[in-house]
Amino acid sequence: MAGEKVYFKLDFNIHEGKLATFEQTAKTMIDGTKKESGALGYEWFLSEDRKSCRLLETYANADAMLAHMNETVVRELLFLMSCATLRASAIFPAAARIAAMLARAWAINSRLARTVSSASVPVAR
């Protein structure tokens, strides 16, 4: 598994009037990912009507994919989701280790997001 490449496919529907913001955020993500040694491919394909986009990602192995998930560039994905709706995703190979790693990473990020949100909202007593 250590040497097995990991592939992601993500499809987005771009919200009306948000194309420029989507493209700028994607550019930021591309620039950041280019600096990651384990990222072998990070390709964005915009549809002819410019209403949808496909992102294809390739990582050297599961450890490289996890390293990417811990980079600041992935935080841009949260901003990207304000510009587009993720309508499909896939991970190849669908190995148990990768699924477990992703589940842990998303659980940590979700707890952090809830902690930040609850810390910024005053609680009435």
Residue spans of the domains in the chain: they are 6-119
- pTM here is 0.72
> pLDDT higher for 68 or 48?
48
Beta partners for 88?
11
Whether domain 6-119 has CATH 3.30.70.100: yes
pLDDT at 95: 59
Q: Average pLDDT, stretch 62-89?
A: 84
Identify the band that residue 116 occupies on the pLDDT scale cut at 50, 70 and 90. very low
Least confident span in 34-48, 69-83, 110-124: 110-124
